[in-house]
Amino acid sequence: MNILLEIQTKLRELSPNESKVGKYVLAFPEAVINLSTQDIAKNSQVSPATVIRFVKSIGLEGVPQLKQQLSVWKASAQSDTDFQELRPNEEIDSIKSKLKARINHMTELVNGHLNNERLAKTVDLIDEAELIFIFGIGASFLVAQDLAQKLNRIGKISICADNTHTMAVNLTNNNQKKLFIAVSDRGESREVLAMLDLAQAENIETIAITGIENSSLAKRAEYPLISLSGENFEFRHAATVSMLAQLYLIDLLFYAYVSKNFDDARESVIRSLDIVRHLEKNY
């Protein structure tokens, strides 16, 4: 675990005072190793109790463990700047290093936080569904499209949309066994939440793919899958890592389904490839 990226990930979920501690640790990680709890509190302009709460909020047992993790970070070969914001006129090699560090950290986060039993349950829901609706807005719509394309290729009929009117009509106008999958990194999109509410009003089971565990979407969906990305920066690198986290989670879901339904999925993929090749050859 890269403790600095872990703190960066948690910042948007912390209280304002806890966030002050997090920002101080990110700014002076080496100094914190040698500071007392009282010194950290003084330098962060908060109380010692807030420092303790901050440490608990990022999943550590106490300040000594925070210092231990910072020492591990210091001893690693990773660049001190890998967790920092993008800078003006940054060297390309530095950008590569930052993105590599974030992507590696992202896969560790998703693997560590993804509930395997819940993932297996969502595979069962996809298996049982006759018609799957997938909804997302903005960059999350691109992720929704990717999931729909994958599922359609293995014979699971999936309809993807980013228009609430289109999705609302589809959700309410057929009698097939349906499943609704909502995609939203922050989990607070009004449109996505509205479609989730509509799906539940129609007694459709709901899956959420979101990057924040305590978001409205994660709380309201029956089966939330958390795509923690570690991306909590001013520019968020065009939401690159959060989108990759969603795509990575979708791949885990897809391959878990394929593994469970291996022969049928393989046959569907071969058939779809044959059709595409026929079209490419003749049109």
DSSP-based helix, strand, coil % in the chain, nearest 5: 65, 10, 25
Q: What is the pLDDT of residues 194-210, one digit of tens each?
A: 999 999 999 999 999 99
Residues 30 and 167 in one domain: no
Which residues does 283 contact at the CB level (< 8 Å), separation at least 6?
none
pTM of the model: 0.77
Residues 48 and 127 in one domain: no
- Other CB atoms within 10 Å distance of the CB of residue 148: 21
Residues 49 and 2 in one domain: yes
**What's the confidence (pLDDT) of residue 191?**
97
**Phi, psi angle pair for 252, to nearest 5°:** -60, -45
Residues 251 and 126 in one domain: yes
**What's the confidence (pLDDT) of residue 80?**
54
In whole angstroms, give the CA distance from residue 231 to residue 103.
10
Q: Give yes or no for a contact between 171 and 199, defined as CB atoms under 8 angstroms apart.
A: yes
Residues 74 and 145 in one domain: no
In whole angstroms, give the CA distance from residue 270 to residue 274.
6
Residues 17 and 130 in one domain: no
In whole angstroms, give the CA distance from residue 226 to residue 30.
31
Let me know if residue 169 belongs to a domain: yes
C-alpha gyration radius of the chain: 22
Residues 199 and 251 in one domain: yes
Let me know if residue 219 belongs to a domain: yes
Q: What is the pLDDT of residues 110-169, one digit of tens each?
A: 998 899 999 999 999 999 999 999 999 998 999 999 999 999 999 999 999 999 999 999
The domain tally of the chain equals 2
Residues 170 and 232 in one domain: yes
- Residue type, position 235, single letter: F
Q: Give yes or no for a contact between 59 and 6, defined as CB atoms under 8 angstroms apart.
A: yes
